Structure 1
């Protein structure tokens, strides 16, 4: 099956894509394009999937760089293929031929570009990383390479939507402690449950940081099982594991 790659006009002409699960070699609960090295999928199947992604964006597999994601605000500046995966949740580069890749399964994959300056970034922004400042830290690191945030564009890819993101009151407490105005990102659910607007919060943080343009592709990972992996859906289905989607940008 052919790979399905979602793109955004605002990131053109840079080569990029939010890859769906379609077109991969994995099977079972990982069926499709599982690119999660940390999953319990067969390692050779993951390698085949990642090689297909690398080919799709025009780089060798070792130039498809990624980090060991830990829900942090930490950013790595990359100027060559990485021998080891540092613990971080975002990357930036000004080096042509390097493809930055982020893995997600409900969290926000965010691709950044200041095409004029020749600087790109990619971030894994779950609720914890977004609250702790990974998006702003990515912009700071891009500026250190010569980008201007007013000229930078960011696109949030497929991630869990508010209607599927049920949380408890203690979850909201962390956001209220940071800023009481964050109440706007929560809607009432059943009983004491709340529905969290992850993308609304991400867009808010990006715009407050002075970015030139920010948008969400408006794809929900939880509600479209045919196209996307979802951690939360796997929990509800009592699956043993789950696949990871990959999002990539390169100069």
Structure 2
């Protein structure tokens, strides 16, 4: 099976892709293109999958760069291959040939580019990281490298949609403490449960950062099991583990 790579016109001509689970070597609950080195999948199989991604992006496997994701607001500047992944959730570079990447399984993968200035970024934005300010931190790090804020385009890839993201009252109150305007990202559910619009929240944070454009590909990880891995779906199915999707961008 061939790889399936989702792209966005707004990031062109910069090479990028939100990879689905198609075309991978993993089996079982990881069936497909599991790129998660932190999963319990076989290490050599994950490396095969990651090598396929690197090949599709036109880089050596050592130039497919990621971070040790910790749901933070930390973005790092990378200039070459890394032996130890830094603890962060955003990466930026102006070095050609480095494929910045993030791993997700419901959280938002965000790819960013200022093609004119030659600066790119990638961010892993779950609700904690988004609330903490990871997208703004990534934009700021790009600007520090010479990007022009009004020239940066951002795209959120496959993530969990609002109708699949049920949360409790404590979650709602945490966002209300941030500001009453956040009520617009919640819809009523059963009893005291609500549904949170993670990509809507991510888009609002990106647009408030003053960049040129921000969009979501409108793919839901939870409701499309043949194409996407989903942490929440794995919990509901009582699966022992779950695969991780990869999103990457390279100058």
TM-score (norm 1): 1.00
Aligned match of 2:162: 162
Equivalent runs, 1:1-251 vs 2, <5 Å: 1-251=1-251
The structural deviation recorded for 1:179 is 1.1
Report SS of the residue matched to 1:170. Answer: helix
The structural deviation recorded for 1:173 is 1.1
Question: How many residues of Structure 1 are paired with residues of Structure 2 in the alignment?
Answer: 251
Report SS of the residue matched to 1:73. Answer: coil
Q: Distance in 1 between matches of 2:197 and 2:148?
A: 28
Q: Distance in 2 between matches of 1:171 and 1:135?
A: 20
The structural deviation recorded for 1:222 is 0.1
Q: Distance in 1 between matches of 2:139 and 2:13?
A: 20
The structural deviation recorded for 1:83 is 1.1
Report SS of the residue matched to 2:139. Answer: helix
Q: Distance in 2 between matches of 1:179 and 1:73?
A: 19
Report SS of the residue matched to 1:192. Answer: coil
Residues 229-249 of structure 1, C-alpha deviations (whole Å, 9 max, x = no match): 000000000000000000000
Q: Distance in 1 between matches of 2:183 and 2:170?
A: 13
The structural deviation recorded for 1:209 is 0.9
The structural deviation recorded for 1:60 is 0.3
Q: Distance in 2 between matches of 1:84 and 1:92?
A: 17
Task: Kindly report structure 1 stretches of 4+ aligned residues shifted beyond 2 Å.
Answer: none
Q: Distance in 2 between matches of 1:149 and 1:168?
A: 36
Structure 2 residues without counterparts, runs of 5 or longer: none
Report SS of the residue matched to 1:67. Answer: coil
Residues 26-79 of structure 1, C-alpha deviations (whole Å, 9 max, x = no match): 000000000000000000100000000000000000100000000000001001
Q: Distance in 2 between matches of 1:175 and 1:72?
A: 17
Q: Distance in 1 between matches of 2:66 and 2:47?
A: 13
Report SS of the residue matched to 1:121. Answer: strand
Q: Distance in 1 between matches of 2:78 and 2:120?
A: 10
Report SS of the residue matched to 1:204. Answer: helix
Q: Distance in 2 between matches of 1:59 and 1:207?
A: 31
Q: Distance in 2 between matches of 1:209 and 1:14?
A: 21
